[in-house]
Amino acid sequence: MERTLLLLKPDALKRRLVGRIIQRLEDKGLDIVGVKMMQLTEEVLAEAYEAHREKSFYRPLLEFMQSGPVVVIALEGRDAVAAVKKMTGATFGWKAEPGTIRGDLTLDQRANLVHAPDTEDAAQRELALFFKAEEIFPWPKEDLKWIYHLEEGEKP
């Protein structure tokens, strides 16, 4: 099983879309193994968005991300990184395919509801940035045989 992160941005909370987004993740078959609400600090954001530090949108992005609390979710599932990234849709809401979170729920590029890492390495780095090991709660799932086609004794 693979783990990844989904960050629900301040606009997701302000628009009261948290429950709808979480429902989509669970409907897909992803398991929530950690969740918390937090106000992001300048230090955490600087580390999270290090790759964008020299870009013109960096400062407005940080201001937007500090405009309200966020919900941080640790997810687990088969190919979770790719699955969650596909579910989020293209970064710019107006370019995102219908059926994705952004394609169905937003039109903007900054107020685009969610952030998800695009590689396993990025997912592990970001999970460690937002969650301590003791804040992740893997638990046995009884419905895995209905989510994944598993042969007797096979693990997902």
> What are the two backbone dihedrals, phi and then psi, of residue 133, each rounded to the nearest 5 degrees?
-55, -40
Burial of 90 (0-12, 13-18, 19+ CB in 10 A): middle
- Report the distance separating Cα 91 and Cα 73, nearest Å: 19
Tokens of 46: 């600087």
Residue 156 pLDDT grade (very low, low, confident, very high; cuts 50, 70, 90): low
For residue 64, the SS3 value is: helix
Question: Longest Cα pair distance anywhere in the chain, in angstroms?
Answer: 54
Q: For this structure, is 149 an active site residue?
A: no
Least Cα distance to 74 among 117, 112, 41 occurs for 117
Whether 101 contacts 89, CB under 8 Å:
yes
- Report the distance separating Cα 139 and Cα 30, nearest Å: 13
Q: Taking the model in full, what pTM does it have?
A: 0.89
Question: Could you write out the three-class secondary structure of 5-35?
Answer: EEEECHHHHHCCCHHHHHHHHHHHCCEEEEE
- Per the residue annotation, which of 5, 12, 115, 123 is the catalytic one? 115
Would the pLDDT of 153 be above 80?
no
Residue 142 pLDDT grade (very low, low, confident, very high; cuts 50, 70, 90): confident
Instruction: Give pLDDT, residue 131.
Output: 97
- Report the distance separating Cα 146 and Cα 48, nearest Å: 35
Which domains are delineated in the chain?
Answer: 2-147 (3.30.70.141)
